[in-house]
Amino acid sequence: MSITYLEAIREAQAKALADDPRVFIYGQDVGTFGGAFKATKNLAKEFPGRVIDSPISEDAIVGMAIGAAIEGARPIVEMQFADFSTVGFNQIVNQAATLYYRTGVSCPIVVRLPSGGTAGSGPFHSQSMEAIYAHYPGLVVLTPATVEDAYSMLLEAIAIEDPVIFCEHKFLYYHLKAESLPAEAQPIGKARIARPGRDLTIVTYGAMVHESLAAAEEIAADGFEIEVVDLRSIKPLDTDTVLASVARTGRLLCVGEAWPWGGVCAEVIARVTAEGFGLLDAPPMRLNAKDTPVPYHPALWGTHRPTASAVAASARQLLEI
Amino acid sequence: MSEVVKSRPGAERDQGREIVKAYRTMLAARVLEEKLAALYRGGKIKGGVFLGRGQEALSVAVGQNLRPGDIFAPLIRDQAGRMAFGDTILDTLRTYLGSSLGSMRGRDGNIHRGRPREGYYAMISHLGAMIPVVTGGLLARRLQGQSGVVGATCIGDGGTSTGAFHEGLNAAAVEKLPLVVVVANNQYAYSTPNSRQFACADLLDKAIGYGVTGHKVDGTSLADCLRVIGVAITAARAGGGPQLIVGDLLRLVGHGEHDDASYVDPTLRRKPVGQDCIELAGAYIIQQGWASAEQLANWREELETEVDATAGRVMREPEPDPADEDWSALSTRELEDHFA
């Protein structure tokens, strides 16, 4: 048997609904239709009354999840695309993220954001929102890059007492497969060494983990061993694992699919230069999407986002310094 | 009112009791807010002070018609409704003065206070945002198998223009949840008059668009407010779905105590909508023989003494100490991020 990243998300939600009567799902087309991507396929049938179609109202979707959480429920809300979470932004950052600090009442909601680019999706169905949400205190921001993490981190997200922004990557939905669902998992907040190496560290997350692994494989032919760190969680960010890797390699390349300004790569580089300057044998480097809206045509999109060949080119450049 | 009086023996006495009870809560809110204004002018309160003068009748009618176990998300001019729902002079002063013993512990202030676990939600400043939150609270109660619960929230004429108002009320209507939205049409959103806020003839016209029941109320009449909001809350509790109430009145103060409200059309004060609901309610109580003018004056004096004593006590309480704060926005401490 093999299971895709998307099926893992569906299975995690099915397990949460089965195990915890407080859990319910709310979002556009999530009911009988099973969701735009089928992440809730058959769940409305299996759990009657607990997988609820919403109007096209992202503010109300998130706001209602917050109210339900105050009353002891564990809501999972699906944004049809991460891009549309901007309409629910106020409820996420000003209501959910401040509730515990202000009132002492925690806000256990999970906001699922189908994130990142796929060919032909264009400016409004491709965005990577993780850095925006990580900027706000009071949110946990997750970016699973594997089938196993999609499953186990979503289950853990539902159990967490605080609001979780779950950035699941659409590019990985169908083609990423695993043999089975994991029985055990690394805890949230710990990064993972996706590939060990000694010459250069690539710190990355989400779909860029796979572009970076492909780049590392390509460069291995030249005799260089690239270490790839999959952050898994953007907030909290596992600085210790990153610093330990840079201590081994002396070189840091951060790769992110999001825009460069004030992003996850900028944060990682700030931490490594502040806390591990002496570990660096070369200036740290970042590779992000270009600073434009995400373009529609696959030829433009393929250049806008970092690809394996772009990552390899940056890594080679950094190795030569 | 007259139909209530005629409905059964003793109804008049019950109504009198309800009106006097509400009046005393309104008076407590008015006296407390006068103290807040004085503390603000004396530099004792940092940040803003936002008063509900002129809106006490509409506000108290919401709090008084709710029951323990209901949900209430008040807005900035709801001191009377908050107190009718169980908020106290003590916690109001603690929150305004930033006492570490207040429900917000100095982390938030003034009207941003509540005890969410007790159904008393703490507003955020973004108007309309509490409507979806109350709606979600009601959805959870339904999923938990509870019935007969009502969730009420208050907003102003300006707040009806927000996306959150639309999204929240529409979603509640789709789910037929027992949501009661009370609009205090106080003629101005900060300085913006109704003519620059909406183009419908009356805000009540919005009810039909959302498929919810609409109720109009004279926001200056305590008896009318208690009756109409009582009818709406009863209808919601009985499964009638969301209820939209529009109360016409005039904000008798500035947006906050920093604002002299010089933009308010002076002729409004001379119109029925510009009357002071507390003065009208007091005169009505005396006219009905439920209390004398002297009793009313005594109630005010007692409240002034209580408010002054409580303010003195709160000002002696400890301020929040930054060294005692854990500076964590997460309840799950092991998920905190760390910055060097």
Per-residue pLDDT of B207-265, as tens digits, reads: 999 999 999 999 999 999 999 999 999 999 999 999 999 999 999 999 999 999 999 99
Q: Which residue has the tokens 């260089």?
A: A224
Domain A192-320 classification at class level: alpha beta
* Residues of B whose CB is below 8 A from A57: 132, 167-168, 170-171
Phi, psi of B266 (to 5 degrees): -65, -25
| Greater pLDDT, B277 or A184 | B277
CB distance from B338 to chain A under 8 Å? yes
Q: Do A3-178 and A192-320 fold alike per CATH?
A: yes
How many CB atoms sit inside 10 A of residue A38's CB? 15
Amino acid identity at B219: G
* Given the residues A125, A169, A210, A304, the one annotated as active site: A125
In Å, how far is B184's CA from the nearest CA of chain A?
A: 22
CB distance from A11 to chain B under 8 Å? no
Q: Which residue does chain B place closest to A234, by CA atoms?
A: B337
**pLDDT tier for residue B7 given thresholds of 50, 70 and 90:** low
Tokens of A292: 């434009």
Q: Which of B167, B176, B336 to mutate to test the interface with A (most CBs of A within 10 A)?
A: B167
* Distance (Å, whole) CA B279 – CA B27: 10
Which of A186, A151, A185 lies closest to A14 in space, CA to CA? Answer: A151
* Residues of A whose CB is below 8 A from B115: 103
Tell me, yes or no, if A169 is annotated catalytic. Answer: no
**pLDDT single digits (tens) B92-145:** 999 999 999 999 999 999 999 999 999 999 999 999 999 999 999 999 999 999
Asked if B241 and B182 count as a contact pair (C-beta separation under 8 A), the reply is no
Facing A63 at nearest CB: one of B132, B329, B338: B132
**pLDDT tier for residue A184 given thresholds of 50, 70 and 90:** confident
Cα-Cα-Cα-Cα dihedral of B311, B314, B316, B318, to 10°? -160
In Å, how far is B261's CA from the nearest CA of chain A?
A: 29
Q: Which residue does chain B place closest to A237, by CA atoms?
A: B337
Query: Can you tell me whether residue A66 is helix, strand or coil?
Result: helix
Region B48-59: mean pLDDT is 97
- What domains are defined for chain B? 2-319 (3.40.50.970)
In Å, how far is A300's CA from the nearest CA of chain B?
A: 35
Mean pLDDT of chain B: 96
Q: Which residue does chain B place closest to A272, by CA atoms?
A: B340
Percent of chain A whose predicted confidence (pLDDT) is above 90 = 98
CB distance from A105 to chain B under 8 Å? yes
CB distance from A160 to chain B under 8 Å? yes
Mean pLDDT of chain A: 97
Region B278-291: mean pLDDT is 98
* Distance (Å, whole) CA B33 – CA A187: 50
CATH number of A3-178: 3.40.50.970
Query: Can you tell me whether residue A233 is helix, strand or coil?
Result: strand
Does ipTM exceed 0.90?
yes
The answer to whether residue B156 scores a pLDDT higher than 90 is yes
Which of B101, B107, B66 lies closest to B86 in space, CA to CA? Answer: B66
The answer to whether residue B1 scores a pLDDT higher than 50 is no
Integer CA distances (angstroms), B74 to A154, B113, B115, B127, B256, in order = 35, 9, 12, 11, 17
* Residues of B whose CB is below 8 A from A69: 136, 140
* E strand or H helix at A81: none
Task: Give the residue extent of every domain in chain A.
Answer: 3-178, 192-320
Region B304-312: mean pLDDT is 98
Q: Which residue does chain A place closest to B328, by CA atoms?
A: A101
Partner B, chain A 166-185, Cβ-Cβ below 8 Å = none
CB distance from B123 to chain A under 8 Å? no
Tokens of A253: 């390349």
- Please answer yes or no on whether B136 and A65 come within 8 Å at the CB atom: yes
The answer to whether residue B34 scores a pLDDT higher than 70 is yes
The answer to whether residue B5 scores a pLDDT higher than 50 is no
